[in-house]
Structure 1
Amino acid sequence: MTTLVIAEHDNQSLKGATLNTVSAAAQCGGDVHVLVAGHNAQAAAQAASQIAGVAKVIHADGASLADQLAENLAAQILALAGGYSHILFPSTASGKNVAPRVAASLDVAQVSDITKVVSADTFERPIYAGNAIATVQSADPVKVITVRTTGFDPAAATGGSAAVEAIAAAADSGKSAFVGREVSKSDRPELTAAKIIVSGGRALGSAEKFQEVMTPLADKLGAAIGASRAAVDAGYAPNDLQVGQTGKIVAPQLYIAAGISGAIQHLAGMKDSKVIVAINKDEEAPIFSVADYGLVTDLFQVVPELIEKL
């Protein structure tokens, strides 16, 4: 029984989600192999070989994999699938794009968004926005799984010494082409990897107030900035800052929610945070049900005070 982890990377370095997925793979039993599929991605393959617990790294390098288009990456994985009992993807935009293609081609049922490995064929996953946990057992010969990375501690990035095996890259399918990528640049930590997150909600009232209140607090704490769906829908913050069931799932060491009422969809995206601080004028706000510390007060008064004290 051997598990294949699909590494997420930028052809230079591994994304943090890969380390959490390796931890999940280790709990499935047997050896853990990591596939690094890209172009000129030797540095990423070398980094994967150093992850603690990894027995082998498979490095597929070719122009067809440069941008990790879903069709080409799925073909690469399918060429290897016969030798594995489990194929694990991080539950990210890329992982969710490729995993269903692999599962459908193998004619198996995908097990999505697992947060716990019970045994080699049994897993737990949240349903109903995290209000219930389903235990899912798969009898398929190959388990195709996406891993909710907040459910697993990351594997150590160093300490391993896995061999790197180079294989031929899959041919370009011709079904899609990479046109361009617009990446927002920020000095702040990436939202899903940040240790501290400050999030603003609809109570901030405007995009100007959102920036005026949340930016200085994030600067003071060295934090990433998040937002509720209500704030994003109102245009106070861009879509890539949305935290919640339809946004990004986060679990930082500290999560500060300012002016967020705590709709069930938002709680599903942040309730695994280690320490939650809620600031809201409404003492009945649902956010207080998951908060470790709650301030029933006006955020426009208390946030500047908090910045001053820090």
Structure 2
Amino acid sequence: MDATEPVESTLLICPLETLDSSPHHLSSPISLAASKTLRHLRIVLVSPLFEAPSEGSSRGVSHTERWDGVQRLLTYVYVQATKVAQELGRVLMDIDVLLYAESEIVPAFIGTDARYIFRVSQSGKKDGLQNIPTSIADRSADTIWVEPSSYHAPSHSTTDPHPTTTPLHPTESGLPAFFPVTALGGTFDHLHAGHKILLSMAAWITSTKLIVGVTDDALLKNKANKHVLEPLSRREERTRAFLTLFKPSVEYDIVPIVDVYGPTAWDPNIQALVVSKETLSGAAAIEKHRREKDLSSLKTFVIDVISSTEANLDAEDSEALKKTKMSSTFIREWIVEQQKKGIKVE
């Protein structure tokens, strides 16, 4: 396989049995798939732990209760793939991580553009997944079986057996499995892994509608390298496309915003808010504003593993995160540098 030339698009399909720790066993499959991809890598994770709860059934897990495990999982997978892409100079590689329950059929179109399909074997045994469509499963000539990584936690691991939660992270019991209407906001310029973690987690806990506020062009005049900023229409388009791919059952209301509040300033139907640690102050401002307007308080969920200093990452994960730049500022700087060298960036 090492002699195989990289191709435009690939697909990696991995079974997953636990959310209790980072999936270090997937490091080799992710790294190999990313190294053989030039433009677009889709990673499909299949697990019974993604089963949505339903009335009259004992199967399914609460998506709000699984918040920490799923965001840790997404962060690990995105970081591993992004790190390889950046090391190879493929900063604009498009990486999508998708979650499917074992009872769900993976859509056939997921593999349509993939030249190679990577799947995970264990001691020569195939993954045994039953929900893979025949259009993917029958492509034996294009399928590459990869052994999982061996992993031993380093003795200097910083993992805390009782990780703390951020102040605005809901910790009370009795939260609903989903919230009907959730909101989040951001610039979403040159949509990257950090954005996709944020968007994925918001969709993960939402059952009906997700409102996404996208910063209007007028507020971005002071951004560094603003001449390579994507226009609002492009940022909205890419945000909607990713969310529809990740969870097509939810309605997405993508709206331009000119302040920190957006629709949270007036919409009484919003129940939950998703923010990053960097935007916690905005969450506090929203809470204050809604209280003044006699609007209901929002349950705030915080993406708190994107920072490499977090206690719920072990030392190896933290080091990988430090070396991986998941920011629009970095991407714009890279584009400008390529342009200075006379390299066309698409």
TM-score between the two structures when normalised by the length of structure 1: 0.32
Give the strand-richer structure, 1 or 2.
1
TM-score, normalised with respect to structure 2: 0.29
